[in-house]
Structure 1
Amino acid sequence: MWEKCKELQNKLLRMRRDLHQIPELGGDLPKTRAYLEERLQEIGIPFEENSFDSGLIATIPGFKDGPVLALRADMDALPITEENEVDYISRHKGCMHACGHDTHMAMLLGAAELLFKNRDRIPGSIRLLFQTDEEGAQGARRMVDHGCMDGVSAVFGTHIGTILSKEIPAGTVICTPGCCMASFDKFIVRIHGSGCHGSTPEKGVDPINIGAHLILSLQEVLAREIPAVKPAVLTVGHVEAGKTYNVIPTEFLLEGTIRSLDKETRDFLAKRIQEISSQTAALFRGSAEVQMIWGAPPVVNDPAMAKLVADCAREVVGAEKTIDHVDAPNMGGEDFAYYLEKAPGAFIFLSSSNKEKGSDVSHHNPRFNVDEDVLWIGSALFVKIVEKYFHIE
């Protein structure tokens, strides 16, 4: 039945563009949820609302009791002002679907329509997870807390775009066994000094000086304390201090992220950020407060489920556009990891990179866009996974 997804392409495109125009942030997504509820009602699929946020859990019952297979799409957008010159540009100023979540919802809706029409062939049930707040790494956890993974036998999700490489052509499917994405966590360091006039720095404690030394010192953790064979990232992405050129401020704010593929490295990075921040501040007569905001753990695909996906991809897009091995995991993060802690499954990448169409721009960029011609592939993959998992001929 997966071939029928090609006939849904125009509908998928319309839904994607509808959703692209109403991006919302975090866990409160009233317009997005209303749109999804309307589409689910049109198809006839029953659903319930997540008790913690705007997430939705819909169920397609098969012809008999059996395994429960979960399919997930994320719903939230990013605080970015869109710069694409398209007639379906975001109508919400300062907010944009710059990571492809609009396509994820559309592709899952398309698959849901076809699966619902063929529910009398499914010896089990399909659970559709429409999840908020992936960007904040909180949505999947809230879905799990609501009970969305109770009784689930396997779970699958897809991410569109150029995550692995913009050189991978549009329509290529990538699904690999084992760890495919890193953990991702945020750290915040507040350095406290003593403000004074810039002409008399000896009368104060300069937090900017402390912050400058701290930024350089933190990079030495990667260079000299983490084995070269263990991938890890420590990035400072935001600093803030002072209001004018001739005043030494009292505080310096530093924010960044750490990425790793195992718990040992993850914990070590957090520990060293705390130690180095405190000791560097003390060295220059200041003090530091460190806050760790823990995100999602690494995304670890079940080998059997990853093989199942790769086999499905070879049927849907062909062997030449199926990748089942990469040399190293991607250091981006995804809270889909929380679902994989509850049931075996796999996270799938669908390339939409096409330079001629301008869809080779990186995620989280104001000009991010996708090659919409691949939308049917995302739906077809979900449907084919259901066929293969349940041995439907």
Structure 2
Amino acid sequence: MCMFIGLGESIKEETIAFRRELHENPELSHEESRTSRRVQEELDKAGIPFQTGFAEHGVLGIISGAHPGKTIALRADMDALPIVEQNEHDFVSKTKGAMHACGHDAHTAMLLGAGKLLYANRESLSGTILLVFQPAEENAPVGGAQAMMDDGVFADYIPDEIYAQHVWPDLPVGSFGVRPGAMMGNSDRFEIRVTGASGHASMPHQTTDAVVIAAQLVNALQTIVSRSTDPLKSAVVTVGTINGGSRYNVIAEEVVLEGTVRTYDADVKDSIKKRMEAIATQTADMLGGKAELTYHDGYPATRNTEESAALVAEAVRDAYGEEAQPEILPSMGGEDFGRFLETYPGAYYWLGTAIPSRTVQKPLHDPQFDIDERAIPYGVEMLAETAYRAAKGGNA
């Protein structure tokens, strides 16, 4: 029996309206003061008790069920991205240089909607449901999840399990992506600072060209995946920026490469770090220069526990049928929710939001990213249904 399926329609319009309000007023990581205030106002209006002050703008809603059970946390992220929106709907961003290009506006609105349904039906609930509204998810590699935990978000209520969902433009509305194990990858950053010796472009023999060293490094770094990593294990090494030189006729003294490393397995990640260090220093030394690697460990891989992923999958099939839970592959994208899952068992799943009128879906972080808002009731219902089942111990 599904407790909350069908109830999302009852609050569809108000949930969409709140999502659009947030979309018009995006706030970047660590700047979510208005968003946090509006979440608090809506929780207060609904009668849901809450605590604040976690990672500065984080909010924790607390719903106590009438029956004994587990403590289940549901998390939504609140921050936007420094992207100029290029959509044409009537609720585009009013904040210069900021946009909800990753769906966090929808995440926050749907968690609030699920909280309203759960609170309205608290006499039928078991245990305690925690509504975690997280800031700074986009602030990789630091994020906001660890800061919330460090600030005691779970000091009074320790989750037995934690769940989150993310809008996903590659899946149609009415479908959900969930699997045990890895859902998202380790998301690390690196910087390689190459140092040579400057001089006139006509006299290269008197210099050490940092641009030439950097060019060799870009090619050499690609061999880490193609020749130093088990082909049955996934990894991506990307050089995203190259900055150096001061003038067309001056040989550059310094070039800085920045990029990202994506993996699923810790052993692959460690191997890549060591290989990257060796390639950088030895290539530069071979060409007469120096290279210094700075490696920033980012978000850990988002790994679902088998039992929690199975609970979500069963809820989806019970509610919407087998076709609503297609087989999926994990993504190499990073997600701060992985830090919660390092401490607490749980699951992270995708909510289908593809827009049928688009022949090519705009991906997350694109200036034209948007969602089909018909997905919002599905997201509200599945959050509530997941929490309801998990708090009862998995028995629907």
- TM-score past 0.5 threshold: yes
Q: Percent identity?
A: 37
Amino acid at match of 1:345: G
1:389 counterpart residue number: 390
- Which deviations, in whole Å up to 9, do the C-alpha atoms of 1:14-40 show, x marking residues without a partner? 111100111122223111111211111
Matched residue of 2:378: which SS? helix
Asked if the contact 1:187/1:293 (under 8 Å) is kept, the reply is yes
Deviation beyond 6 Å, 4+ runs, structure 1: none
Matched residue of 1:152: which SS? coil
Amino acid at match of 2:148: M
Asked if the contact 2:299/2:334 (under 8 Å) is kept, the reply is yes
- Which deviations, in whole Å up to 9, do the C-alpha atoms of 1:110-151 show, x marking residues without a partner? 000111111122221111111111122421111221233452
2:176 counterpart residue number: 173
Amino acid at match of 2:203: T
Q: For structure 1, which segment, 195-204 or 304-313, has the greater mean C-alpha deviation from structure 2 after superposition?
A: 195-204
Q: What is the CA distance between 1:181 and its match in structure 2?
A: 1.5
1:129 counterpart residue number: 132
Q: TM-score, normalised by structure 2?
A: 0.94
Matched residue of 2:318: which SS? helix
Q: For structure 1, which segment, 367-376 or 138-147, has the greater mean C-alpha deviation from structure 2 after superposition?
A: 138-147
Is the counterpart of residue 6 in structure 1 residue 6 in structure 2? no
Is the counterpart of residue 96 in structure 1 residue 96 in structure 2? no
2:290 counterpart residue number: 287
Asked if the contact 2:72/2:391 (under 8 Å) is kept, the reply is no
Separation in 2, partners of 1:331, 1:383:
28
Asked if the contact 2:238/2:260 (under 8 Å) is kept, the reply is yes
Q: 1:221 aligns with which of 219, 224, 235?
A: 224
Separation in 2, partners of 1:389, 1:356:
36
- Which deviations, in whole Å up to 9, do the C-alpha atoms of 1:44-67 show, x marking residues without a partner? 112222343211112112225542
Is the counterpart of residue 331 in structure 1 residue 332 in structure 2? yes
Matched residue of 1:333: which SS? coil
How many residues are aligned here? Answer: 387
Q: 1:139 aligns with which of 140, 144, 158?
A: 144
Q: 1:260 aligns with which of 258, 263, 268?
A: 263
Is the counterpart of residue 15 in structure 1 residue 18 in structure 2? yes
Separation in 2, partners of 1:184, 1:82:
25
Matched residue of 1:71: which SS? strand
Asked if the contact 2:192/2:293 (under 8 Å) is kept, the reply is yes
Amino acid at match of 2:106: T
1:230-379 to 2 correspondence within 5 Å?
A: 230-323=233-326, 325-326=327-328, 328-356=329-357, 360-379=361-380
Q: What is the CA distance between 1:87 and its match in structure 2?
A: 1.3
Q: What is the CA distance between 1:379 and its match in structure 2?
A: 0.6
Matched residue of 2:268: which SS? helix
Asked if the contact 1:191/1:288 (under 8 Å) is kept, the reply is yes
Q: What's the Cα RMSD here?
A: 1.7
Separation in 2, partners of 1:269, 1:204:
31
Q: TM-score, normalised by structure 1?
A: 0.94
Asked if the contact 1:198/1:248 (under 8 Å) is kept, the reply is yes
Asked if the contact 1:141/1:338 (under 8 Å) is kept, the reply is yes
Q: What is the CA distance between 1:83 and its match in structure 2?
A: 0.5
